[in-house]
Amino acid sequence: MQYRLRHTMSEQSTGESGGNEVSQEFVQMEKELNKETSVLSLMREQMKSMVGMVSMFVITILISLFIRPWYDVAELHAFGEAGSTQARYIFLELVMIFIFTAFVIMLARYKKEWLIKYGILGVLTIALMYTTVPLAHMFVIDFDVEDFEYTDSFESDETYLTDIGMGAFITHDLIGNSTNWQDSVSYWNQDSMATGTPEWTYNQSRLPAGDSQIFRVVKSPNHITMTNGAWISSIDINTGQMIENYTCHSEEGGQVTLGTDYGVCDMAVIVEGGVYTFSTGGDVIFYRTFEQSPGLMVYQSKWGLPPNIDIRNEFVDATMIEDERMLLVTKSSALVMHLEENSGTIDIDLQKIIFQYNSTSSITGVDFGHSPWSENNISSNIGDEGLLIIGEQDGTITGWEWQDNLPNDEGAFTIQEKMNLENFVDSVQNVQITDLDESGFTDLLITSDDTSYWLHTKLLKNKISFPVSDSFSMGIFSSDADDNIQFYSVDTDQEISIESGEITEEMFALEGLQLYQTQFLIGIIVALVLMVLLYVHSEWYVVNTVGVLVGAGVIVMLGVAFVPTLIIIFMILAAIYDAWAVYKSKHMLELADTMIGLQLPILLVAPQDKGYSFRDEKAPISDIDGSELPEPRVKQNKPKKNKEAMFMGLGDVIFPGMLVLSAVQWLDTDYGLSVAISTLIGGLIGYTALMTYVARGKAQAGLPLLNGGAILGYFIGGLIFAGTAIFELGITW
């Protein structure tokens, strides 16, 4: 902050008082009174300049907020999405500031003002276009999207069982009576949902098991294995035909016993050359099967599950992710087992587990499939990679990348750090890996208590949302021959309800760089006209217009580039540097003198009166000393118009503005705007405090108070509207 004051003190008059002498005590008292009232008096005299400056301060930030959506949809992040949380880029920005300052001062000392002027004018021309072009587009682009609506629905009496891949699911119904119980399983895909009838239905006898026996399904790439306590069957997913069938009961002397001689069959999976059975007691048994002897199971090995695995009361999902690796998920745990054929010891070993996750809440959704972060298309996935994603009741969403063929499965599952969905929803109903546009590159569908969010590709940009009920089980996307896309919401209460509606282009959030030819040309022309005006008529109102627009562009470019925590670090370091550069080295004053002398708009000018001319500004800021007050005069002349002005460097607006914009950009929408407003208020309070110093007419470092006020406002507002979550850093180097 720079401020110049030449005629701001009230002129005093003294007269001859005869022979009276003024006592020293009176003089001292008068000085003390003057000292106490001088700051307020000076601030009142400079009120026009202060109001003008604070108006430009607010307007600059408001313009940046206005054009932010244009930058947001274009994903114009200076260092990419990942760079928004990386501290090293903040230090890079500071280094560039140091280099720029040193280079300009060096050129000024070598009398190369012309190089400074034309170089900065060129840079400012480009910077100005970063505001004028988006600004021209903001008046014609409609950022609002149409809401998705359901138009059709139908119901079915079956019970939803589990999803089958991205676009299908199976249902179950126990039909018959105590003399003829049957498990009826139906397969629904995208085509069958359009007709309202399942693709196929398969009925499996349940007897001699009763209606209280649990029914479980394990998914494999091309078939499902279903178990009802008495029978184990594998069914081809595409045709609904039985592939293999095994009994899991025995009868002797009219007495029926469920299970085999080695254990019961509460869940099972049929693999090549064998069957694995699982009991609610935690036993895992492998039986050898033989192609030449259909239906025959021969006991081979036995293992035990961890004691916290409850497949009766907490079962969520079971999937074969590879020939020998099975994903088993309960409400409390998710584990991947390496299914071996031999236990290796006489005693019962624990089942070999290559991955285990224990939930501190309750697992409510799980999916395994092709990763959105994979460099390969789905068609190129040979089954040696994938993403495991888990959603929990408390809103936690975690993803692990899986890589096959690693020695002893060491490091087979690694956290996907780029899946940053912390605090995305309060509670998770379901998580799915999808491919809405059938591009071969997957996306995520995250469902909260009332909304499903489609998060596009690896950036996880929420492009469209769907209202859902609290009994939502699965969402399916389907395209017809005309490329019309339907969304099906599968709800499960006492029966299945399927609602659907068409997705249109107007429902998608805008994405990518929005450049319209007419608006682009208008933005370019306006920028060029302003720069020509600045060159031929560099008056204060031209300088301010360019300065406000350039400042708004810089605010939004950096505000969308960094999360608030990094912006705060940037502001603190910049404030320290500003104080040192103004009070200690004083090279910032030298830089300000150079910019004013060249009449360049990297500052804002707030005149005290209309008669002020920036083009006549000659006196260097570094020569001003507010302690040198005018000598008292005998005669008080008629007040003249004040030819003085207040100067504020663009950085004094840009830094608080960046934090305001970053709060809107990166914080939760429930409280982001409220925190941004409190940040702006804090910055204005810092500005008011700063005015008590600059009113004395001495150059001041603006960033310590301005940044300090904005940061304080951010944390106070954050505590009020977001709680302690505002202190979560979430940054890396």
Residue 584, pLDDT score: 80
What is the C-alpha separation between 168 and 192, in angstroms, rounded? Answer: 9
Do residue 698 and residue 602 come from a single domain?
yes
Of 352, 386, 266, which Cα lies nearest the Cα of 315? Answer: 266
Residue 699, pLDDT score: 60
In the chain, how many domains are there? 3
Question: Does residue 502 lie within any of the structural domains?
Answer: yes
Do residue 500 and residue 597 come from a single domain?
no
What is the C-alpha separation between 537 and 549, in angstroms, rounded? Answer: 18
Q: Which residues constitute the domain of residue 82?
A: 2-8+41-143+512-628+639-727
Choose one of 484, 508, 532: the last residue of a domain.
508
Query: Consecutive 10-residue runs of the chain (733 residues): their mean pLDDT?
Result: 40 42 61 58 73 90 94 77 79 85 81 81 88 93 89 92 95 92 95 90 94 94 96 96 96 88 95 96 95 94 92 96 95 95 74 94 96 92 92 96 80 88 92 92 96 90 93 93 90 90 90 88 94 85 90 92 90 88 75 68 75 63 44 41 70 92 88 94 90 69 88 94 77 74
Question: Does residue 195 lie within any of the structural domains?
Answer: no
Do residue 384 and residue 290 come from a single domain?
no
* 3-state SS class at 673: helix
Give the count of beta carbons closer than 10 Å to the beta carbon of residue 441: 19
Do residue 72 and residue 134 come from a single domain?
yes
Question: Does residue 257 lie within any of the structural domains?
Answer: yes
**Residue-by-residue DSSP string for 362-413:** -EEEEEEE--TT-SS-GGG--SSEEEEEEEETTS-EEEEEEE-S-GGGTT-E
> E-strand spans in 148-215?
152-156, 159-163, 169-175, 182-188, 200-205
What is the C-alpha separation between 322 and 26, in angstroms, rounded? Answer: 96
What is the total residue count of the chain?
733
Do residue 387 and residue 344 come from a single domain?
no
Choose one of 483, 508, 533: the last residue of a domain.
508
Do residue 562 and residue 579 come from a single domain?
yes
Sort 17 into a burial class: Cβ within 10 Å, 0-12 / 13-18 / 19+: exposed
Q: How far apart are the first and last CA of the chain?
A: 32
* Cα distances (Å, whole numbers) of residue 251 to 120, 204, 260, 489, 515: 94, 19, 11, 45, 77
Task: Say which residues have a Cβ less than 8 Å from residue 289's Cβ, sequence separation at least 6.
Answer: 244, 246, 270, 273, 274, 275, 296, 297, 298
The separation between CA 58 and the C-alpha centre of its own chain, rounded to angstroms, equals: 26
* 3-state SS class at 469: coil
Question: Does residue 188 lie within any of the structural domains?
Answer: no
Choose one of 358, 385, 414: the last residue of a domain.
358
Do residue 492 and residue 519 come from a single domain?
no
CA dihedral 518, 521, 522, 523 (to 10 degrees): 120
Q: Tell me if the bond preceding 620 is cis, omega within 30° of 0.
A: no
Radius of gyration of the CA atoms of the chain, in A? 36
Helix 113-138 vs helix 47-74: angle between axes, to the nearest 10 degrees? 60
Do residue 235 and residue 153 come from a single domain?
no
Question: Does residue 634 lie within any of the structural domains?
Answer: no
Beta pairing partners, 331: none
**Residue-by-residue DSSP string for 566-590:** HHHHHHHHHHHHHHIIIIIS-HHHH
Residue 4, pLDDT score: 45
Do residue 578 and residue 711 come from a single domain?
yes
Backbone φ/ψ region at 522: left (φ over 0), alpha (ψ -120 to 50), beta: alpha
Question: Does residue 427 lie within any of the structural domains?
Answer: yes
Residue 14, pLDDT score: 40
Question: Does residue 686 lie within any of the structural domains?
Answer: yes
pTM: 0.71
Beta pairing partners, 162: 170
Which CATH number belongs to the domain containing residue 310 in this structure? 2.40.10.480
Query: Which residue is it, tokens 């604070």?
Result: 54
Question: Does residue 33 lie within any of the structural domains?
Answer: no
Angle ∠(647,652,655) on CA atoms, nearest 5:
165
Q: Phi and psi of 472, rounded to 5°?
A: -65, 135
Compute the half-sphere exposure of residue 169: CA atoms within 13 Å on the CB side of its CA: 23
Dihedral sign for Cα 677, 678, 684, 687, please. negative
504: enclosing H helix or E strand: none
Do residue 390 and residue 478 come from a single domain?
yes
Do residue 426 and residue 551 come from a single domain?
no
Do residue 114 and residue 129 come from a single domain?
yes
Of 317, 283, 489, which Cα lies nearest the Cα of 390? Answer: 317
115: enclosing H helix or E strand: helix 113-138
- The answer to whether residues 297 and 277 touch, using CB atoms and an 8 Å cutoff, is no
